[in-house]
Structure 1
Amino acid sequence: MTTWQRDKSGGFTLVEVLVAMTIVAVSLLAALRVAAQSTGHVDELRARLFAGWVAADRLAEHRARGDWLPLGVLTGTQRQGNIELGWREEVSATPNPDFRRVDVYVFASPRPAHFLAHVAGFVVNPAGDTP
């Protein structure tokens, strides 16, 4: 009868190699999943960046023109970075009658309930006289 003798060269067994390959495969799949999720978030971050620009532009435009906005809500759309974004401006009175608070909300056009950016600022009555 022949007997097998194990070679004492210090190599890995087949089971050890398979376990190591399984661990590497699971790790690579987890890394691939994280990478796929992060690329999905890039579109959201891009839209939020453009929405912030739209909100800041709306407020800066009113200040540059010296607009005295009526109290209430104004809505509209603006294209930024090839994305159509909707905006809503809420103009409210302040304790000082020569100032008005303007809250600008920017949202993706299909989902107006979910705003991407919000900027609050004040405009000054250019005439300086309270109506």
Structure 2
Amino acid sequence: MNSRGFTLMEIIIALLVLSVVAISAVKASGNAIGNIHYLKQQSFAHWVAMNKAAEISSGPAGWESWERSGTAMMADLQWVWSFSVHDTPEAGMRRVEIEVRPEGGRGEPVAAITLFRRRP
């Protein structure tokens, strides 16, 4: 008797291959979702930093004595910003480094930018 069908071993191997492909697809989509969340958070933090940079750039004389840290709302999230002022080799310029973290965030900032401004 000559039967035409798959053997049990062939079915098991096919299911094994299918399960590996399915697990890989789920893992890849999970990574993509994690990346989207991180990029969204990074964009909001960058906007907070750019807003602070605009304030510093357009601020009046005496900006170096402003408050060096604070909070800002962006996209219904509370962000903590801070900036530090440093001398540069150019006598008339100052380097300002701005860092932004989520509220309660520790470690590396989500966004960091550097700008230069003339000394008052």
Deviations 1:47-96 (A, max 9, x none): 11111111111112211234543269701111111111111100112233
Q: Which amino acid aligns with 2:85?
A: V
- RMSD of the alignment, in Å? 2.2
Q: Which amino acid aligns with 2:40?
A: R
Change (3 A) 1:110 1:75: same
Q: Which amino acid aligns with 1:16?
A: E
**Corresponding position of 1:6:** 2
Q: How many residues align?
A: 120
Q: Which amino acid aligns with 1:52?
A: H
Unaligned 5+ runs, structure 2: none
Q: Does 1:100 align with 2:94?
A: yes
**Corresponding position of 1:129:** none
Report 1:1-131 matches (<5 A). 5-7=1-3, 9=4, 11-70=5-64, 74-125=68-119
Q: Which amino acid aligns with 1:38?
A: A
TM-score by length of 2: 0.83
Specify which structure has the higher proportion of helix. 2
Change (3 A) 1:101 1:68: farther
Runs of 4+ in 1 over 6 A off after TM superposition: none
Unaligned 5+ runs, structure 1: 127-131
TM-score by length of 1: 0.77
Q: 1:54·1:78 contact (CA, 8 Å) conserved in 2?
A: yes
Give the secondary-structure state (helix, strand or coil) at the position aligned to 2:68: strand
Identity %: 25
**Cα offset for 1:35?**
1.1
